[in-house]
Each structure stands twice: as structure tokens, then as C-alpha cells.
Chain A
Amino acid sequence: MTMKRVALTGNEAMALAMRQAKPDVFIGYPITPASDILSAIAKYVANGEMEAEFMTPESEHSVASALFGASSAGARSFTCTASQGLALMHEVLHIISGARLPIVISSSSRSLSSPINVHGDHADFMDMRDASFIQIFSENSQDSYDNFLQGVKIAESVRLPAIISSDGFITSHNLEPVEVLKDDEAYDFVGEFKPAYSILDIQNPITINPLSLPDSFMEIKKSQSDAMAFAKKEIIKTAKEYQKLSGREYGFFRPYKLKDAEIAIVVMGSTAETAQSVIDELRKKDVKAGILALRVFRPFPYLKIAEALKNCKAICIMDRSDGFSGHGGPLFVETSAALYDLKNKPKIISRIYGLGGREINEEMIKSVFEDIKKLSENKKVERYGYVGLKI
């Protein structure tokens, strides 16, 4: 195994991983901030570096529909999208997962309209949390590359679709060092796609996406639910295999000084890295602070999260989208449920940050830790609030 160190943006890293996984079909429609992925793929195809059937239909709804057809025929099928594009696919996303087609989407997460805003937040990613996709989030360009290769393998092994995303612009447009595998090493890791069924196999005819009435619908949904639960095993198995190949460690989340932490944040994406220097500073002042940087959002690793946070006194769950539950961000709601069975439950607060590309910096993260500290000392702190607000 030889790794090559190159300069890549998050989008370029994702496009490279997509090429190395050798899809049979790539169907896409451009949208900021994921357009660079599509143009990189178009270039690969034009230069003969990628043999995929390349299609650009008239909308993202058509992209998802065409992917459904391609995957039903047994083709390894990818796309890239974000924000309104992902939202326009929404109806078909449920049909893809219900039909158990392992399509893989690469995404650079962005806010949802209205008002119109092209910048990064997690609203599009969270909007699809009931779509039965395996959902993985990256902290940097290296993660984007590694997560995509692993995502394809996981999706195809449990026959569920997957989305691999990173912070729009912050990661997708940041040029940084990435260690990449050789083409054949990457492909050998992902392996050949062996579809369970193909609509083109006329010797063994099948029906795809049939009518299923009350006599059978629930059994089909139960098997889909079981597949998502089973994906947890595959995610860890795949991470271990990838570690052997790359030397880089992956799990459901990346802990930072969490083992003995009394106060901590739960956060997803690039902010988890930015927060590390805040932790280092707090540690110098003997404050036992830590980070749980979530990587896998679906399936949600409830038990592992509870285990990792059980000794904390107070936690803030930081969400880069509101979710509009009126109670706390989507990650807050899920993490709260994870902690419910703990004997000694940590105190928790929800903080919303970085919407529509609003800067999230060390000072802001420090202010969050000041709130968690107060909370741990039984002082009164706002339960559900925004960070970096101008009003």
C-alpha cells in the first residue's frame, strides 16, 4: 500500500473517490456547492478516465428517477447534489431506499431556501433523516475521500442507499492535503458490485417497486428497518478493513479528549476540528473538556453515544440546522434519546450555529463551553439557543 499526498478540495477528493469506485452510471445535475464534483466527473468521462454512462437530465427529480432505473438494472450508480437539489429528489429517495437500491450520493451540505442562501449548513442533510439512507458526515477533505470509498462498500453490503456529505464551501472548497490510494487499491477495497437482482436478468424475472397492500407492507418495512440496524456492524467492519489499508481510524464518531471529560460538545463536520484548539486551551486550565464528533448520523449510534458520554456532567449538542421542533436541533433530539437510559444522565443544552454559512470560530465555541461549565455547576443556562446571533 502506498499513499500519495496531494492537494485536493473536499469536492475534488469526493470526485476522485467516485472515479476510483468505478461506477457503471453517473447521473447528475449541477448545484452550488456540489457543482465542482459534477464538472470533475464530466472531465473524467470526457478524458476517458471513467467509463461510466454519464447523463445530465433536466432536474434532480429526474436524476433520482434515472438512478432508480440504473440501479434496478444492477448498475453501480452515483450522483452528487446539495440543498434544493437534494430536496427536489426527496420523493424518489424514499422509493430508492424502499426498493433497497444501494445508490450513493456525494454531497456538500448547504442551507435550504427561503430566504435564498448558497452557503453551508446541515439543513439539507437533516431534511432526509427519515429517508432510510446511510448518512455519513466528513470533517475535512481527507474524511470526504475515505468516507465515500467506505460508503459504497457499506451501502452495497446492506442494500441501502447512502449519502456522504461535508460542510459546503468550508470543506468542499478548501484546498488541503489529502492522502489518496492508488486506483487499483481503492477499487480492490470497494470491490465489484454484485447486485442481488437485476431487472435485465430475463431468466429470473422480478417485479421492482410493486403495489404492496396491508397484507405485506409492514413486513417489507421491518426488513428495511432491520437492514439499517444491521448496517452498524458493517460500518465498523468496513472501517477496520479500511484502517488496514490506509492506517486511518474511523468509527461512528471521533472522540477528542472525551475519555475523562466532564463537559463536552456533540458536533458534526468541520467545526469539530476547529473546536480542538478550544479544548486544548481549556485543558491547560484544568477544565476537563472533550468533543464527540459524530460521523455516522444514520444509523444513529444510540448505545455507543450513551457509553461515550455517560461520565459527563453537562453536554451541549451543537446543530448546524434548526430542525424546527421548537425544542432543539435534530442532533440534540437524537442525542437526548440516546442518553435516556443512562442512570446518571448528563445535563444537556441545544445550540444552533453556523446557519447559511455564518462563521463559527474558536471564540463562539468558547462561549458554548462557558455555558456548559455553568450548567455543570447547576447554574441557570438557556436550554435552546443560537450561537453567533447579531440580535
Chain B
Amino acid sequence: MNNDVTEIRWHGRGGQGVKTASFLLAEAMINCDVEAQGFPEYGPEKSGAPVAAYNRISKKRILTHTGIKNPDVVVILDPSMISKDNDFKNPLNSIWNTGVAEKTIIIANLPRDFPENNCSTEKIYTIDATSIARKLIGKPIPNTTLIGVLIKVLKLDLKTLEKSFRSRLEKKLPPKIVDGNIKCIEEGYNSA
């Protein structure tokens, strides 16, 4: 409804860090004196089940408390949510392509190409975030690499946000894993 707000929708499966991604971003933005929301959509809370999370970022106070229907950015954490035929209209893609318009930016964790001519969107960024995460943190959790891509796409300053990312991750993870995740963010950022 409000053009001053950037709306981001995250899609993945339980265990891939969908909620954590939206919370990392929201907290980092709030710490930079920007208005932001981060919230998950809860369904059956099972590992492997499709889950979504949302972010709103704005200079003005955010008063809307609804899910995001027409996102500015869609981030897909799980490659199995994207059909292999690259057909945007394939029913499998309906999990994430609902409300996606021409101007919507798509960021996908995909170890293969995603031909843009089969999609209605103009900007698609793909990255093999699972392999990067395996290499840098030893676990196939793609969220932080994709955050890196998103920061670059939104033209945000990585250095200012990194401190917030680190402090939130440190609350739950051992130092080695935190360092690995920060490297993931940097690798995602530099590759976009």
C-alpha cells in the first residue's frame, strides 16, 4: 500500500534459517535507526515443511500488521521450491511466485541457471548458497549467504550492518560458526 516501504518475503523450509534471516535483517536495520519489521508465518512447525518470513523496511513508522502479498523482493532459500523446467507458471513455483510482479527482484539459492526469459521479473540473482554455507560453516544452511546478496541488491552498507548480525548470531552460536556466517554474508555480498 505504501511506496515508501520496502517489502521482502523469504521462502524456505523449516531448519534453513528463514525466520532467523528476517530477524537478523530487521534488527540490523533497527540498530541503524531505520524502521523495520521482521516476522515469520507460522504453519505446522516441522523441519522440512515450507515456511515463510517477512520484512518491512521504511524511513517512516510501520503500522501495517499483515503478511506481504506484493513483495519488492522475494528470497528463495530452497532450490527444491523452484521447478527444474524453469517455467514460472509451474504449480511448484506458486509457493513463492504469488504476487510477484515485473518489478519484483528475485534472489534464489540455486546451483544452476534460472533463465530470466521464463519469468515475468526483470531482475534475478542466483547463487549456490548451500555449497557456500557447506564450505564456510560446514552446514547446508543458506540464509546468511542470501542476506549478503540482499544487502548488495538493496544497496545497504555491509560494514554498518555486520556488527548487528554478529551480536545476534553470537547469542546462539559458537564463535567459529559466527565467523563462518559472517564470511557467508561477505561472499554473498561480493558475488552479487
Contacts and interface: CB of A to CB of B under 8 A. Distances in A.
B42 A273 contact: no
Given A6-B30, A173-B40, A175-B26, A277 B64 contact: yes
Interface string A233-260: 0000000000000000000000000000
A311 interface: no
Nearest to A176: B37
Contacts of A270: 65
B149 to A, nearest CB: 21
Nearest to A281: B1
Interface in B47-93: 62-67, 69
Interface residues of A, number: 25
Q: Place the interface of chain B in its size category.
A: 20 to 34
Interface string A164-192: 00010111011111000000000000000
Interface in A274-313: 274, 276-277
- In this complex, the member of A7, A175, A177 whose beta carbon has the largest number of chain B beta carbons within 10 angstroms is A175
A174 B39 contact: yes
Contacts of B36: 7, 175-177
B24 to A, nearest CB: 10
Contacts of B23: 175
Interface string A344-367: 000000000000000111100000
Contact of A171 (B27, B40, B65, B66): B65
Given A7-B26, A175-B26, A176-B26, A273 B38 contact: no
Given A119-B42, A276-B63, A177 B2 contact: no
A265 to B, nearest CB: 15
A360 B67 CA distance: 9
B35 interface: yes
Interface in B13-32: 22-23, 26-27, 30-31
22 contacts: A5-B30, A5-B33, A7-B31, A7-B36, A7-B38, A140-B65, A167-B65, A169-B39, A169-B42, A170-B65, A173-B39, A175-B38, A176-B38, A177-B30, A177-B36, A277-B1, A277-B2, A277-B63, A361-B69, A362-B1, A362-B64, A362-B66
